[in-house]
Structure 1
Amino acid sequence: MVGNSFIAEALTLYYDKEVIVPSRGQNLEILNRAYQNATSALQKHLLYHQALGTENESLTALSETLGIKYPSHIDFVDIAHLFGSNAQGVVITYINGRPFKKLYRKYNIENENSFDDYASIKEVLTRHYKRKLIEGKHLPDLLIVDGGKGQLGVALSVKDELNLDFNIISLVKDDKHTTKALINEEGDEISVNKNLLTFLAAIQNEGHRYAITSHRAKRGKGTYTSALDGIKGLGKKRKMLLLNTYKSIDVLKSVPLTELSQLIPREVAEALLTKLNRVDDTEGGV
């Protein structure tokens, strides 16, 4: 039970304000939601600190190579885009050498920055760490940037602007697009042993994986919603209803008119199915 009348009475006496314990209605709903959010935040906090429990050999080697404190918390930033459209940035987190997906975050890039990798990185890092600072959340010991000295310079500028207190490095690739070394904040390229290189490449690959899958999901959703445009009577609310009910265009195409008419007016459903099947026929060359 979320509420407790004894506690409410004690708080009423202490603050000289009435404290209620709702048993039904909107207030109970708000209280339950606050309880769930607090429980979730506590679980994340405990998991975060449990993950810090034991040392990792690769992190020890990284610490010694860079001359920094043991980097228990590592963030990695990456940008995914398709010719500049639908650009999306991600920040993934490793705690004690392992991915900590509860702290993964993705950001839609503003249109004016979509074609500019440097501006995209700056936007993502600024938004990410501004929010961390405002909310008083944990900051990393080390930020890894995917790219060369240019991307590193952008990350360092964000660090200076926000007065952030953590180390930053970038990863360098060879002609075969394989990670070969790292660059420290002074711009020095540092070669590392094979084991550490493998560890850093694993973080890089996980960042790429998350960026690409997030970007594909975003592009798919954009394709879906754009296919619903231009149909009279199909507004924003009805589009969202269809989006939440049918997870792809292919699924929506196969829905019987009788079923679709239970969600939206029949004439709108007919127009929608006609448009989707006409597009399908056109693409098939019929």
Structure 2
Amino acid sequence: VDRREFFWEDQDEFEPAEFFSSLLKQFYLDQQHVPGLIHVPVEFEDRAVLEQLLSEKRGRKTAIHTPRRGPTKAMLALAETNARHSFEQRFRVRKPTLKAVQEALEDAMTLPELPRRIECFDISHTQGVETVASMVVWENGRMKKSDYRKFIIRSVEGVDDFASMREVVTRRYSRLQRENRPLPSLVLIDGGLGQLHAAAEALESLGIINQPVAAIAKREEWIYVLGQEREPVMLDRFSPVLHLIQTVRDEAHRFAITFHRARRGKSFIEKKPAKSRA
């Protein structure tokens, strides 16, 4: 039996179908095990495309089903109840102010000043095919979607997340240099030490030094800060700082998976043979 928890806050617009479509991509497209049957509480538009992608990854058919009655419907209701209880437990205390979170983040990451902007990067691919990257932005307490960016990886063949991270970080910050724009308070990387050092190498190649960079590893949820890698930051699971970092990381992952799915879906449709007309 496995149980994992994901949390989202400040969702100005919540559309259940879009949410579950993004969640399944985020959860299954980058992990080894894909089940043969997935139950979700709502139908969503790109279900057939996602079934095809997951079936290709699994090597056998995977179906996505929305039960209407019976034991499976009851199981989904239980999952919803558990999710509600987890949410209430996590947010049962008063939500800290933005400044309190910024100060706690500054202290935890040993930042030189109060963090006002975080740029977070994630890489997405399926066995090295259609590798893409995303960058999302947190600024002064909110996700700033107008500053999100998508990248198609150009210089890397096959599976090489480290080289892909070097490319996307180089492209992002060489552009900021050309446009004489300020760097973020923190560059956050979805990954472990390898991805962290790849990003650091990219910044160093551009002559950018003393830029705060950190990475969050998925399994342990440890935060590695560049320059103090031997002492990862291990925060309490209810810490507002960990919650902020996880929220930004999860959004980068969602954005990357959605972009990758769109490209994979387009590629699949283009390769599908047209039906002959009688």
Matched length: 176
Contact between 2:167 and 2:202, CA under 8 Å: does it hold in 1?
Answer: no
**Partner Cα separation in structure 2 for residue 75 and residue 57 of structure 1:** 20
The structural deviation recorded for 1:106 is: 0.9
Distance 1:225 1:135, change over 3 A: farther
Query: Which residue is 1:121 aligned to?
Result: 165
Contact between 1:59 and 1:71, CA under 8 Å: does it hold in 2?
Answer: yes
**Structure 1 length normalisation: TM-score?**
0.57
The structural deviation recorded for 1:102 is: 0.9
The 10-residue stretch of structure 1 (55-64 or 90-99) with the greater mean CA deviation from structure 2: 55-64
Amino acid of the residue matched to residue 274 of structure 1? S
**Partner Cα separation in structure 1 for residue 173 and residue 165 of structure 2:** 12
**Structure 2 length normalisation: TM-score?**
0.59
Contact between 1:76 and 1:91, CA under 8 Å: does it hold in 2?
Answer: yes
Distance 1:225 1:149, change over 3 A: same
**Which structure would you say has the larger RCO, counting Cα contacts within 8 Å and 6 or more residues apart?**
2
**Partner Cα separation in structure 2 for residue 66 and residue 164 of structure 1:** 19
Amino acid of the residue matched to residue 276 of structure 2? T
The structural deviation recorded for 1:55 is: 4.6
Q: Which runs of 5+ in 1 are unaligned?
A: 1-53, 229-271, 278-286
Report percent identity of matched pairs: 30
**Partner Cα separation in structure 2 for residue 112 and residue 156 of structure 1:** 18
Query: Which residue is 2:100 aligned to?
Result: 57
Distance 1:59 1:216, change over 3 A: same
Amino acid of the residue matched to residue 121 of structure 1? M
Distance 1:93 1:113, change over 3 A: farther
**Partner Cα separation in structure 1 for residue 179 and residue 155 of structure 2:** 27
Larger Rg: 1
Where 1:70 maps in the other structure, the secondary structure is coil
Query: Which residue is 1:199 aligned to?
Result: 244
**Partner Cα separation in structure 2 for residue 164 and residue 112 of structure 1:** 23
Distance 1:111 1:80, change over 3 A: same
**Partner Cα separation in structure 2 for residue 162 and residue 227 of structure 1:** 43
**Partner Cα separation in structure 2 for residue 164 and residue 226 of structure 1:** 43
Q: Which runs of 5+ in 2 are unaligned?
A: 1-96
Write the mapping of 1:249-260 to structure 2, written as runs, cut at 5 A: none
Of residues 195, 201, 218, the one that matches 1:157 is 201
Amino acid of the residue matched to residue 243 of structure 2? T
RMSD: 2.1
